[in-house]
Amino acid sequence: MNKKGFCRGLLVTLIVLCPTFIFADSAGLFSGNLSTADACGFGVGYVGGHVGILDDGTAIFGSLTYGFSDYTEGRVKLGFFDGDGNASDPELFLGIDFKYEFMDYYDKNGKQPLDMAFGGFLEYSDLGFFSILQIGGNYIASIPYRFQSGRKIVPYGRADLRMEKISVDVGDGDTDFQFGLNLGVKYELSTEMNLYGEFQIDGMTGLFLGLDVRMF
């Protein structure tokens, strides 16, 4: 199967499967994805600033990404979510994720159709009278396109399946399995700086924007 056929088949599969899951009652992720399948590389570190404009409020958070090997990286995200209610205050949330890139588009042994990675994540948010713990796994696919200037634009998609546990101060909580989809684009402003734009289809649907800057 050629590269275009593979990408088209993957997109159609995600679109067909998504409605089966995402319209279930889901809290959704506050920090989105904001990452391609391509790992940053061993010893490389990025610091990022991001904002999510979501249907139930606004998330503002920072991130620290570090490459543990050429194909493995981990990331920590910390920030605040401000709900739309007039009486709501910004509440803290924490995210941790990792990924392993198992297919490299620029593989030295032969070009592959895509960058592909799988990984896991955890996100915890304390919203006052209740808290949300989300633990799951994800699959990420992306493909780089290089301009004549040397800069790249990288469309990507991430599908996740997770356990979502909602705990309340009074009454019974709830635990369910949920599915989410993130579709975005990474643009290289320079070799040290990347800009992200991403749309999330989940219980917390919305738009994410982010900037990553290489620090080491």
Instruction: Spell out the residues 6+ positions from residue 159 whose beta carbon is closer than 8 angstroms to its own.
Output: 14, 138, 139, 179, 180, 181
Q: What is the reported pLDDT for 87?
A: 64
The fold adopted by the segment(s) 3-214 is: Lipocalin (2.40.128)
Q: d(Cα 52, Cα 34) in Å, to the nearest integer? A: 10
Q: What is the reported pLDDT for 127?
A: 87
- β partners of residue 141: 116, 157
Burial 178-199 (b: 16+ CB within 10 A, else e): bbbbbbbebebeeeeebebebe
3-state secondary structure of 39: coil
- Enumerate the domain spans of the chain: 3-214
Instruction: Spell out the residues 6+ positions from residue 19 whose beta carbon is closer than 8 angstroms to its own.
Output: none
Q: d(Cα 41, Cα 126) in Å, to the nearest integer? A: 33
Kindly report the pTM of this predicted structure. Answer: 0.86
Handedness of CA 148, 153, 155, 158 (dihedral sign): positive
- The DSSP secondary-structure symbol of 109 reads T
Q: d(Cα 55, Cα 74) in Å, to the nearest integer? A: 28
Q: What is the reported pLDDT for 19?
A: 46
Q: How many CB atoms lie within 10 A of CB 69?
A: 12
Blockwise average pLDDT, block size 10, the chain, 216 residues: 50 47 68 97 98 95 98 98 81 97 86 92 92 97 91 96 92 90 96 96 94 97
Q: What value, to the nearest 5°, has the Cα angle with vertex 200 and ends 185 and 18?
A: 110
Q: What value, to the nearest 5°, has the Cα angle with vertex 182 and ends 181 and 184?
A: 155
Q: What is the reported pLDDT for 86?
A: 66
Q: What is the reported pLDDT for 2?
A: 52
Q: Phi, psi at residue 8, to the nearest 5°?
A: -65, -40
